[in-house]
Structure 1
């Protein structure tokens, strides 16, 4: 991917549809957060993004993220597809990957 300077970005005008962005309501945003798994339905201490959201956020394939986390790819797929209930350790793992991916990668490299 080519990198652009801030001046180049401003000069290009961007690709944001401002009218659509301005028309987005709080209800739309809340619905999108629910779809992502980044809403807060259970309270601030039990919020976690979904496995698929984390993987897409990091730009990884299922195989690559499974390798990074140290689980079989079938396990990651089961998490993404909701075949199993995520236990608290997995929810914490997702939260760390979402918020501090670089720290997680450093910690795994040191292990």
Structure 2
């Protein structure tokens, strides 16, 4: 008998497999971390484009060429932000679905403990 089992017996509670509660939490954390990595990658790419724009603007002598470059930059930025927003909206939906599944799994695990049907 493990220490956990002894404690559960002493408290007159059935022993609970902790993975029943931890697996859903780990999946949720994984999804959130993937989303954060995606956002940070996007920010990194945008900052590199900002830096490249400034470097290129500093070499242009013709104001019209600079204006064209600036205009193209903002068109691409708008396109990038639109694409990233679409990705993030999809990701948020998936995370919400995962949260609902996790809540169901955790509720089922706790119900097993409450009814003493752990096994």
> Which structure has more helix as a fraction of its residues?
2
TM-score w.r.t. the length of structure 2 is: 0.24
Higher relative contact order, chain-length normalized (CA < 8 Å, sep 6+): 2
